[in-house]
A and B are shown apart, each in its own frame.
Chain A
Amino acid sequence: MVLKTEPDRPDLYVVARILERLWREGGPMIKTRLQVGAKVNYDVFTRYLVWMENRDLVSIHQVEDGHERVSISPKGEEAYRRLVQWINEVTKKGILR
């Protein structure tokens, strides 16, 4: 039995990986394919999905064919955009010059 609870301390890598996969897909993605892309086991993946859904970063849809599909929400897209821009700003503003 899978306990659908949130991770204690979410890992930025996993969250970023899931958001980027969904952002690239541009539409709903089958849950099992997303799990392969997220590179974590099913239990951990489910916890992350719950955490992200509770924060409106993703939405999960039950489709007629029996496959659950996940899509990125506008808030998730915004979070991903902010993450990328932050990384870009840090690099550009020259922590390294």
Chain B
Amino acid sequence: MQSALLAAIVFLASIIPTYLLFDFMSGPTAGSSFWFLFFYAVGPIVASAALAVVLFTREMGVDYTRVSQEEPLNLLRQSLRASMLRVSESPGLLEVRLDWFAAIHISTKVSDEKTRLFVKARPTASGWTTLFFLILLSSSTYGIFFALANAMTVYISARCWYFRRRLPMILSEKRLVRQVPLDETRAALIEALSENHRLAAEAYEARKSNRQDVFAILLLVGIVLFLVLFVAILMTIDGFDDFAQMGLAATLAVVGAAALTAPLALVALHFSGRKVKEFEFWARQLRDALQRETEASPMEDGERTSVELLLDAWKELPKWMEARMKTGHLREPGTWIVISILLLMAVPLILTPLPNIGVAETLIGGSMIGAAFVLYARFKKRQTQESERILNELRSRLDLIRSQLEAEILGS
């Protein structure tokens, strides 16, 4: 019912802008042009969002005949981790990362004879962020973002559908016996290495994404600087009517903007690059160790043992947590939606003011940008406070666990 309703919204939201577009092209009336503008701006966003809701809330079932008394999600988790997939677990639910954008949620309903697995397509954190911006930009004149947003939604759903078809094979007894070692100790090693690898890899991806954000901001700063310099130079040499002088002004503006932003970019590259490499190193080491355990391969003499690696990984956990928390845009999606809407509405108001109400538009646009900034500053403050609280708690818990572990094993 819910899916049918949403499908109807998708259909209507796609048809109305198209109809109004034809109406507008053939000579709009005053009334229809308003509706055209309204639907042309909002319709594609609603359509893209509705398609995402339909495909991401759709649950697909898989029949599974139980081969042991063990909880199927436990078996599945072990098997998927032994297949080197990144799996995170919350009560009654597994989330499997399929690629950079696509993930799958798996839950179960158990009856006496049969167990049914249910899967849902889900974007990863990077997938959500990308999709969110593509959907917001869906009202673009050329429709490229509308197409990209929907293509991405369909892709994530298709990845899930394809993976669902593989689940019975992954869960079959034969595959479990072959893939998951029966040795309890090795199984625990695989679980711990897999979980730590997931955390390290997520921290690495978060840090990499932060670096890309910094470069995007610097690029934006560079473009603004170029525009300001270009106009300032043209005004100084009074060369608005001369192509040769405009070329000269453009060259000088490019050089000036590059000279101001390039050092900042180099500093950012130096500091963020070191962290990115450090996290990448940890993710790779844990992945190699995980592979060694899943294949039960022998160890080289100089290699670090898996337990040693895990004990060292504990020291890194606060750093990984911090990196993951710093990319927590999706922790408050409401705040980000409001910020994005405020900015999207403010920019056209300021850049294209109408003759009679230009000042009022600029003031309203400025207030919107101010409000967006206040919301962002508050979000950042809350995020920092929460990070500090969680990290302090984590550090003290790790110290406690470490001393308990030493007392238990070493008797000291």
Q: Which residues of A contact B (CB under 8 A)?
A: 9-10, 12-13, 15-17, 19-21, 23-24, 33, 36-37, 55, 77, 79-88, 90-92, 95-97
Whether the Cβ atoms of A13 and B311 lie closer than 8 Å is yes
Whether the Cβ atoms of A15 and B409 lie closer than 8 Å is yes
Whether the Cβ atoms of A23 and B185 lie closer than 8 Å is yes
Whether the Cβ atoms of B196 and A91 lie closer than 8 Å is yes
Given A9-B412, A15-B409, A37-B301, A81 and B195 contact (CB-CB distance below 8 Å): no
Q: Within the complex, which residue of A10, A13, A37, A88 is in contact with B192, where a contact is CB–CB below 8 Å? A: A88
B 392-412 contacts with A by CB, 8 A: 394, 397-398, 401, 405-406, 408-412
Whether the Cβ atoms of B412 and A16 lie closer than 8 Å is no
Whether the Cβ atoms of A12 and B305 lie closer than 8 Å is no
Which residue of chain A has its CB nearest to the CB of B394?
A95
Alpha-carbon gap, A81 to B412, bound state (A): 19
| B339 within 8 Å of A (CB atoms) | no
Alpha-carbon gap, A8 to B192, bound state (A): 30
Whether the Cβ atoms of B394 and A16 lie closer than 8 Å is no
Alpha-carbon gap, A86 to B397, bound state (A): 14
Given A36-B301, A83-B405, A85-B188, A12 and B196 contact (CB-CB distance below 8 Å): no
Alpha-carbon gap, A83 to B188, bound state (A): 10
Given A16-B305, A20-B305, A84-B307, A91 and B409 contact (CB-CB distance below 8 Å): no
| 25 A-B pairs (CB sep. < 8 Å) | A9-B412, A12-B311, A12-B405, A12-B409, A13-B308, A16-B409, A17-B307, A17-B308, A21-B305, A37-B299, A55-B411, A77-B185, A79-B409, A80-B185, A81-B185, A82-B409, A83-B409, A84-B192, A85-B184, A86-B405, A87-B307, A95-B398, A96-B199, A96-B321, A96-B394
The smallest beta-carbon distance between B58 and chain A, in angstroms, is 27
Whether the Cβ atoms of A16 and B307 lie closer than 8 Å is yes
Tell me the dominant secondary structure on chain B's binding face. helix
Alpha-carbon gap, A95 to B318, bound state (A): 11
Whether the Cβ atoms of B306 and A20 lie closer than 8 Å is yes
Which residue of chain A has its CB nearest to the CB of B402?
A12
A17: chain B residues at CB < 8 Å are 305, 307-308
The smallest beta-carbon distance between A2 and chain B, in angstroms, is 22
Whether the Cβ atoms of A24 and B299 lie closer than 8 Å is yes
Which residue of chain B has its CB nearest to the CB of A21?
B305
Contact with A along B178-214 (1 / 0, CB 8 A): 0000001100110110011001000000000000000
Q: Within the complex, which residue of A9, A80, A90 is in contact with B401, where a contact is CB–CB below 8 Å? A: A90
Which residue of chain B has its CB nearest to the CB of A19?
B307
Alpha-carbon gap, A11 to B401, bound state (A): 15
Alpha-carbon gap, A50 to B212, bound state (A): 54
Further pairs besides A87-B307, A88-B189: 20, Cβ < 8 Å: A10-B410, A12-B409, A13-B311, A16-B409, A20-B306, A23-B185, A36-B301, A37-B299, A80-B307, A84-B185, A84-B188, A84-B192, A87-B188, A87-B310, A87-B311, A87-B405, A88-B195, A90-B401, A91-B191, A95-B317
| B298 within 8 Å of A (CB atoms) | yes
Alpha-carbon gap, A77 to B412, bound state (A): 19
Alpha-carbon gap, A42 to B142, bound state (A): 73
Whether the Cβ atoms of B410 and A86 lie closer than 8 Å is no
Which one of B185, B298, B405 has the highest number of Cβ atoms from chain A below 10 Å of its Cβ?
B185
Which residue of chain B has its CB nearest to the CB of A39?
B302
Whether the Cβ atoms of B317 and A96 lie closer than 8 Å is yes
Whether the Cβ atoms of B192 and A87 lie closer than 8 Å is yes
Whether the Cβ atoms of A88 and B188 lie closer than 8 Å is yes
The smallest beta-carbon distance between A90 and chain B, in angstroms, is 6
B 68-90 contacts with A by CB, 8 A: 89-90
A33: chain B residues at CB < 8 Å are 301
B405: chain A residues at CB < 8 Å are 12, 83, 86-87
